Chains A and B, each alone.
Chain A
Amino acid sequence: MAYPYSHPSEVRILSKYFGDPEARTLKGWEARGGYQGLRKALGMERGDVVNEVKTSGLRGRGGAGFPTGVKWSFMPKDSGKPHFLLCNADESEPGTFKDRELMRWTPHQLIEGCLIGAYAIQASHAYIYIRGEFFEPAQILARAIEEAYAAGYAGKDVIGSGVTLDITLHLGAGAYICGEETGLMNSLEGRRGEPRVKPPFPAVSGAFAKPTTINNVETLCTVPHILTNGGAWYRQWGTEKSTGTKLFCVSGHIARPGNYEMPLGFNFKEFLYDVCGGIPNDRKLKAVIPGGSSVPIMAADEIDVPMDYEGFVAAGTMLGAGSVIVMDETTDIIRQVGRMVDFYSHESCGQCTPCREGTTWASKIYRRIRAGFGTEDDLQTLLDISDNMTGKTICVLSDSCAAPIVSSIQKFRDEYLAVVERSEPVVAEIA
């Protein structure tokens, strides 16, 4: 059952049952091999579960790419305090829609991953913090959690193991910043969603000031497969440092937009032109954002790189959440970047001054340039604002705002100059 299109180059592990409504139910999921990973994990020492994930080389799929097993091993042993596993399902990065599909089609995959993760880090409670706008996935997940409790996969004495694993779904209220891990913790605790100063790191003092591990939906969805098949099995795809498969969300000027599960290290150019069908309407590619709005923009001539953490870094950008936004030659780069800057300005929590004021000021400058009142000095001002809000704040929201500004001015300077040099300002546009 293809959803909505499958390419032979894909390796569908997580997305195998996308489009298959029966996989949503507990019975259907069990029939498809579900909860075998959990059974296996509960028969293992907790440390061995962590080691299995370390062996797999799985890296965080939320954007930072930190090795998951290593992150789990940071949790203190026998701290005497309750531990918590948080699942970050606050998928809000513009261009990203992989977690939504994972939760819509395979809720039990995520629940199983959460239960295994919680067991591994000595937590007896896992929270899934889901984005406020995700009504449908939240309803599906809530139903699946009920099923899991009824079947004894969650709650006290999970499938006869004597282990308690509770799982709670928490709906956010609609803020991008609550996808930042410590902002998410504050929001979960009922405070303003403002990122915290680190240290202390979550493994020492996270949610409710207790040792906490936070993982992305896609990361946790991968865990049951690793437990079922072994860490070494997962390494058969991908590269030495970027193992396994990853979902890529492709949107924009592309023939076949959607989610694609690709082995890491696949060629990006081939991916865009072959797997995704290239640019429609016989137009040329102008630029592409490979990892969501927070990463630097790539120009059309920079895309012949491997799709993995290292490959994109070498190309001066990042894999991020694998959110590929494709822009063809008709795209107004200034408008696109201005739109992204508006987003960050709207979503800044406002606690750090460089972010609160910098994102808003930059957004106003973009509007002025587009209204025909730009000057060449504005480009230097924008670069300076970007520099002044990069690496200066508690979290990286303002760094994310700066990335497209800087990369677009570097790579599409002519386009900016053409606009600011337009002779007659159009007064009507700014009214």
Chain B
Amino acid sequence: MADETKNPETVTVTIDGVQIEVPKGTTILDAAARVGVDVLHYCYHEGLSAPAQCRMCLVEVEKAPKLMPACVTTVADGNVILTQSEKALKSREGTLEFYLVNHPLDCPVCDQSGECKLQDYVSEEGRAMGRLREPKRVFGRDDFGGDVLYEGDRCIMCTRCVRFMREVAQDERLSIVSRGSRNVIDTFFDEGLGGNIWADNVIDICPVGALVSKDFLHKARAWDLDRVPSVCPNCSQGCNITLQTRDNEVMRLKPRPNEEVNSFWMCDYGRLNYSWINRKGRIEAPLVREGGRMVPMSWSDTLLRLAEAAKVASGGVRAVVSPFLSNEDLGAARRLVDALGGGEGVYRSAKGEEVVLPGFPALALREDRAANVKGAELFGFTRTGDGAGKGGLEVAGAHGGVLVVVGDDLEDAPADFGAGAGLFVYVGHVLSPAARNAHFVLPATTFAEMEGTFTNVNYRVQRFWPALQVPGMARPTWQVLGVLLAGLLGGAVPATPEQAFEGLAELRAEFSGIRYADLGAHGRPLPQLGQLAEAAGD
């Protein structure tokens, strides 16, 4: 490259024969990633400082006397970097052999097996046979408090967990104790990690099976899990997550990186609060009340009867919706309320203390412990009930006209809730005592069984995908209500989640600013309102 064309802000380097121009100050590891070269590493993590101590990322830089740690060495113009040279390969093979000196090789009983970097790297580049003939040192197991269990023998001393607690959680509860090969990670005092709601992130970033979750302990093998990108439903932050399931059951939630929302992290409240997604006893068929009995019926018969009933209903509409519904569901509920003559709609949401992650303050466990409170408000529903998400149903429950309940399980509602309604439509998941008063019970899917979007606390719209099979004849709420609305008003039924999403623009102009296809796996801020929220935050 001629000097006069040279950009002073960039340098040109060659990595494994591929030339690339990168900004000054780029590390070898990052530059290599740009040309598709994965430099093996343990201690380096994008969200943490780089101590360069695992010595896995040593690569050959031509003319340098020693191998250089790729994670902290910045590239210089004209560098020729070899990650696969004989020297680099020999170094990695040697270091991997060292990693196994005191490692118990208990993969058959280790939860990390199948997603373990030690397993991966040793099978890729390690020796076929170890040469160790000596006894290994033994630490055993240590309960770190909270959900975290430490298997000291598996630990490779990368210190990611120590650095996470120091730099991100900013609550130094972990430290290396002792020296040399007697090094072990330990907690201070009896409390350990218990009480810090970010602690489980250390399990995610542990490259081996040294830190494991008590909740997930021996529950499933990594290779048996199906992984679906989703959004954490447990607060309005909307952390990007992966729903990990086996045999149609959620086994665990794991954070999915999103620099705009949750970086690499999520809180333990959201992570461990998933049993409700696996709830059994779901409604599997539409039910229509005939006399005193609930009679299962086909969708077409049910919706035809419901449309007939709705056409003659009177007395105004009262609606109760759930902040766990998708934007598309909430939009459809709004349309139904409007189509039936309009009326008041409410939602209930539990509240709790906000807990900010100090090292990434954009992330917090939010006050609203439901994913789509902002969506519910956007579509004109107002908050009712108490801070536990209970109560507040007196007006709706005593309503004599049309009562529409969507998504709210009514578990705490009095047994006579809706008993006096002229028409009581219940769209939901389980048949609580109050739901039994409905004239029509329509089984709906949860967020984990369908495709859709949530709007988070900062008006960011994010997609989720189906991870579980639909129970019986249950259908997404937007689809059920869409068919019903077509029956009432005529017009087309949205055939796909995308069409349902595009239809939201008719209700809220902000949604015209984003296209479903552009949301991708990381979402987009809602135009205007999103900007308003930012300005308010400043």
Contacts and interface: CB of A to CB of B under 8 A. Distances in A.
Contact of A354 (B95, B156, B179, B180): B95
B159 to A, nearest CB: 8
Determine which residue in B90, B133, B157, B182 has the highest number of CB atoms from chain A within 10 A of its CB, and name it. B133
Contacts of A350: 157, 176, 178-183
A351 B101 contact: no
A345 B56 CA distance: 21
Give the secondary structure class of B's interface: loop
A357 B102 contact: yes
A381 B135 CA distance: 16
Contacts of A345: 180-181
Interface string B227-264: 00000000000000000000000000000000000000
Contacts of A326: none
B139 interface: no
B98 interface: yes
Contact of B99 (A347, A353, A384, A385): A353
B72 interface: yes
A354 B134 contact: no
A197 interface: yes
B53 interface: yes
A353 B179 contact: no
Contacts, number: 99
A195 to B, nearest CB: 10
A341 to B, nearest CB: 12
A391 B90 CA distance: 13
Given A175-B179, A197-B52, A354 B94 contact: yes
A164 to B, nearest CB: 35
Interface in B113-167: 131-135, 156-157, 159
Interface in B422-436: none
A299 B133 CA distance: 31
A355 to B, nearest CB: 8
A339 B159 CA distance: 30
A391 B66 contact: yes
B97 A394 contact: no
Interface residues of B, number: 36
Nearest to B132: A361
B134 A359 contact: no
Contacts of B382: none
Interface string A186-201: 0000001000010000
A224 B52 CA distance: 40
Contact of A356 (B51, B91, B134, B157): B157
A395 to B, nearest CB: 11
A388 to B, nearest CB: 3
B53 A351 contact: yes
B55 interface: yes
Determine which residue in B97, B101, B181 has the highest number of CB atoms from chain A within 10 A of its CB, and name it. B181
Contacts of A359: 180-181
A361 B67 contact: no
Given A368-B134, A392-B55, A394-B52, A356 B67 contact: no
A133 interface: no
Contact of B94 (A177, A360, A387): A387
B98 A358 contact: yes
Interface string A369-405: 0000000010001001101110111100000000000
Interface in A227-263: none
Give the 3 A-B residue pairs with the shortest CB-CB distance, closest first: A388-B94, A357-B98, A348-B180
9 contacts: A350-B178, A357-B101, A360-B180, A361-B101, A385-B94, A388-B97, A389-B94, A389-B98, A394-B52
Interface of B: 51-56, 58, 65-67, 69, 72, 90-91, 94-95, 97-99, 101-102, 131-135, 156-157, 159, 176, 178-183
Given A391-B66, A392-B94, 10 more contacts: A177-B179, A197-B52, A348-B179, A349-B179, A353-B157, A356-B181, A368-B134, A381-B131, A384-B94, A388-B91
